[in-house]
Structure 1
């Protein structure tokens, strides 16, 4: 079955750099290290400790109302908030599923760009799925975001704000299950995270730095996804931050992956998997292989066998597991989810070859759950 884009569509070229000439998001406390915040305060003629007070309100107390920041002097409160905590994004719509425990929010950024985040509450954890770019330049034909192209990179603070907003809603009891905290963050929303490397690493550092400098999360609770930007995977390997790497592979052979994930024409399956293996070897963190199951495209039993063989090239020491994703199709798309029987056989084949395999719990299919759907309809 052909995997070329539907007739009448314009093939998208891969875009690694955002369009030039766009205005930059306002500088925010979350863009800066603790030392940089103190320097900014001094530049504005303010005591350095004011920056720490504002960081405490933002990261620890999750306060977003300036009037509640009563430890700041009333006469300079507005200036302090404007300097360190400018508005970054406005919620346009929030849709709920799973009795309110799945909440998808559409955000408008300062320049009108639209992005999405999703909060998912489970019995034992709360996961935030965040966007790292407005749009995406990777042009994967089955992805709603990829078909829209890249608008721009998000700033570190815009990424962090998605998590902080989710943390606020939990702390205020707005999500069924009572007050709680965000325990996991996955960079699996709109955009290719490693194509916005600097801002994403900055966000990971803000999320993991102890309060009040950050949210104090465990790096082991953070997953960074990529379609396979090999040089950036190797750069991430050397960062010393033990996040989980998720490689969106979607096909074990170059012929098919060239069509499903166009970056494969630059970095082959072998090069990409080797970089992921090196990440696991260096960090001692198991890599997740993401594989969207598409009916008649990549779900054949022989491809399961080939996938297992490709992963076994680097040994049997448990460096990897496969996460199968039932495709959440976009309206009118020819890309559809695999037949459940084919999905089960795919799992059986992988497990028979000793590859740990799970099928993702798909949430939010009734609220435009696939990445980019809500923004596209807006």
Structure 2
């Protein structure tokens, strides 16, 4: 039985038509699921009983099972989900004055094995389907009884290594008939998969591209992010420039500050040089402990780093930490063995 959440609107419309059903039924089903949060065909009362029974024989509406919900003092909520095969992922709701953001996972674990990230330490199992990705958002909205209006693919996994399923999920996320989230409120974060960045540049979608950078030289970046040995900084920056030529959009660089590793003024100088021809902003992130052996940069060093970037024409900000008390902050999500 197929999970109906794996279909974007055009896919579901075509599927229903192939089954001899009217295409407008797709609009009704999307409204029930994504607007009304109804996850039972039996409760879709503007559809005939016979058709509801037929749909329930052809499709399922599969939400992941909520295993645990953890609430932070700052309002952040972390969810541990279990899928039908027993695999688990975590996702997070982050609350800001201007938005309610869903931090979504795209893989069970992550294959990139970055030295500072708990997700990579927990191993990699598989990609998620678009329906499994969508199920996290639906599940969080239902659990918290509120509307998410911003999505960041910054949870577990490398989105560009699950490109097709992530883009199918984004088509549902941004569909006015589904979640109705603005394309400019959807961020896709990558550790630097150059092929994926180029593909995303050619998508008919106006998304936010975020690059997990974390070091300004190949030597340092390769020592903490093995993916840099395949896609070095030169190729990464060239792909970002290509993206900007096509999209004419500002790019965000994420930069975790590690004490006496990448937070010196010399590192800041190298970062300014690396990004000198790119329209961007830099999110400076205080390292959150994952047992990696790295230490958090001091407030003084972080402030000096931020100040140097700003004085040299780089828009930079130290990102507000959220969810660290429940291990829900940047780099802390992990696959759980149940």
Q: Same fold (TM over 0.5)?
A: yes
Q: Sort the Cα spacing of 1:81 and 1:122 in 2 relative to 1 into closer, same or farther, 3 A.
A: farther
| 1:51 equivalent in alignment to 2:14 | no
Long gaps (5+) in structure 2? none
Q: Tell me how far apart the structure 1 counterparts of residues 124 and 337 of structure 2 sit (CA, whole Å).
A: 17
Instruction: Specify the alignment match of 2:304 in structure 1.
Output: 345
1:105 is paired with a residue whose SS is: strand
Deviations 1:188-216 (A, max 9, x none): 000000010001111111111221xx322
- CA shift for structure 1 position 282: 1.9
Cα deviations by residue, 1:65-99 (Å, 9 ceiling, x for unpaired) = 44532223335535424534432411100101135
3-state secondary structure, aligned to 1:375:
coil
Give 2:82's aligned residue: 108
SS at match of 2:180: coil
Within a 5 Å distance, the mapping from 1:91-240 to structure 2 comes to 91-98=66-73, 101-170=75-144, 172=145, 180-211=146-177, 214-240=178-204
| 1:113-170 deviations in Å (ceiling 9; x for gaps) | 1111101122221100000000101110110111223200000111112122233345
| Structure 1 gaps, min length 5 | 1-25, 173-179
Quote the Cα distance in structure 2 between the aligned partners of 1:377 and 1:346: 39
TM-score, structure 2 normalization: 0.93
2:315 pairs with 1:356: yes
Shift in CA distance, 198/335, structure 1 to aligned 2, threshold 3 Å:
same
Among residues 306, 316, 330, which one is paired with 2:270 in the alignment?
Answer: 306
Q: 1:82 to 1:132 in 2, by over 3 A?
A: farther
| 2:296 alignment partner, SS class | coil
The structural deviation recorded for 1:353 is: 0.6
CA contact (8 A) 1:106 1:374 kept: no
Secondary structure at 1:358's aligned position in 2? strand
Q: Is the 8 A contact 1:288 1:322 kept in 2?
A: yes
CA distance in 2 between counterparts of 1:181 and 1:296 reads 41
Q: Deviations over 1:345-367 (max 9, x none)?
A: 11111111110001111111111
Q: Does 1:375 align with 2:338?
A: no
Deviation string 1:29-76 (CA, Å, 9 cap, x unpaired) is 332233432333345454444333221111222222445322233355
CA contact (8 A) 2:265 2:308 kept: yes
- Structure 1 distance, partners of 2:248, 2:142, is 33
